[in-house]
């Protein structure tokens, strides 16, 4: 055999050997990658545990959330219908499209918290429970200044959600909205608290939590819950022409309305008896006051809680129970959180000094 054929055979053997070694190493790498692949079931125990915990949380909360259908009537049309009935003429139905909303069961005896605008002036309110029951609800009472109402169904041993202390809520914490958006019962969305102390959202005497949890028409009255399954707020409204901006009424205010309606049978209208004006830097400078923000007391009513606590005209209110009260909306928000019989700590500035004054909260006299 000549030298050229032998050389070609030698080169072929070398190439074959190199190929075998290369393929063998590639096979080992593939096997190693398969063993270490994160796609293998059970490779994420922490995430699997979190997923199970969240599912358990939602499974606990959903049975305490109800869907509400409130059939409302236009008084003028309803009167016309009664006249038609008297004359034996076929009458118009008179009923508007039912208002759809949500509610949250807050007692095992069937007390349900919702927004007043969901059930306002309704003649028929129907509640749909998660177990399939459809029950008529009775309107017990409401506080129109904060758009919250209490209705009740004739049932016992119902699952309910506890109130959280909304003073502990912080921006960034995880929350879940549960409700009946667009008629889709038991819808759950997840988000965070995007902001606290929002004012000017509407005409209500309340500060709101802002959330990016998806909320749509029909979510009104449903709960916003934390990771402990507590209600931190009641979903109320959506910012128009926006995405991911919704507002909810803090649970401490919702608890106050529930206790007023169910326990005290009277809506609290807390009253100090002091007439105030918002303080501007210009007014503060002209009066020679050492502060540029707050509510200037213009008058204290005789015999009022403020008078008994020693407040006088010229004092400047800065905070109530440690929360800012520097203008009209903030004062109204602080008062809305109180109930008759509370003792409020009011921070005032007098003569350049800050003083905390305790004031007994009474029912508004007028």
| Enzyme catalytic residues | 117, 147, 220
Q: Which residues lie below 8 Å from residue 15, measured CB to CB, with a gap of 6+?
A: none
Work out the burial of residue 125: count CB atoms within 10 Å of its CB; fewer than 13 is exposed, 13-18 middle, 19 or more buried.
buried
Residue 280: name the closest of 296, 260, 299, 301 by CA.
Answer: 296
Distance CA 345, CA 5 (A): 105
């Amino acid at each position: 055999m000549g030298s050229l054929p032998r050389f070609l055979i030698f080169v072929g053997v070398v190439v074959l050997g190199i190929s075998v070694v290369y393929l063998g190493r590639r096979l080992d790498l593939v096997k190693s990658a398969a063993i270490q692949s994160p796609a293998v079931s059970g490779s994420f125990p922490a995430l699997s545990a979190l997923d199970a915990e969240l599912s358990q949380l939602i499974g606990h909360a959903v049975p305490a959330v109800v869907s509400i259908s409130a059939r409302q009537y236009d008084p003028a049309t309803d009167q016309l219908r009664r006249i038609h009935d008297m004359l034996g003429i076929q009458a118009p139905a008179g009923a508007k499209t039912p208002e759809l909303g949500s509610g949250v069961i807050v007692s095992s005896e069937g007390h349900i918290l919702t927004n007043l605008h969901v059930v306002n002036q309704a003649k028929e309110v129907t509640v749909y429970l998660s177990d399939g029951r459809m029950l008529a609800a009775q309107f017990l009472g409401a506080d129109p200044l904060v758009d919250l109402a209490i209705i009740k169904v004739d049932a016992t041993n119902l699952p309910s959600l506890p109130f959280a202390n909304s003073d502990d809520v912080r921006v960034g914490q995880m929350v879940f909205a549960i409700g009946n958006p667009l008629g889709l019962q038991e819808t759950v969305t997840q988000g965070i608290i995007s902001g606290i102390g929002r004012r000017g959202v509407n005409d209500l005497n309340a500060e709101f939590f802002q959330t990016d949890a998806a909320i749509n028409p029909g979510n009104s009255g449903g709960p916003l819950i934390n990771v402990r399954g507590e209600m931190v707020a009641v979903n109320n409204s959506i910012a128009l022409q926006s995405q991911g901006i919704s507002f909810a009424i803090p649970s401490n205010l919702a608890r106050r309305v529930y206790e007023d309606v169910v326990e005290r049978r009277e809506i609290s209208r807390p009253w100090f008896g002091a007439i105030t004006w918002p303080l501007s830097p210009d007014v503060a400078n002209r009066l020679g006051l050492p502060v540029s923000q707050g509510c200037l007391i213009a008058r204290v009513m005789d015999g009022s809680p403020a008078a008994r606590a020693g407040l006088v005209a010229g004092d400047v209110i800065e905070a109530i129970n440690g929360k800012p009260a520097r203008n009209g909306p903030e004062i109204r928000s602080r008062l809305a959180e109180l109930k008759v019989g509370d003792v409020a700590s009011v921070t005032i500035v007098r003569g350049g000094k800050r003083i905390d004054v305790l004031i007994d909260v009474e029912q508004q006299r007028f």
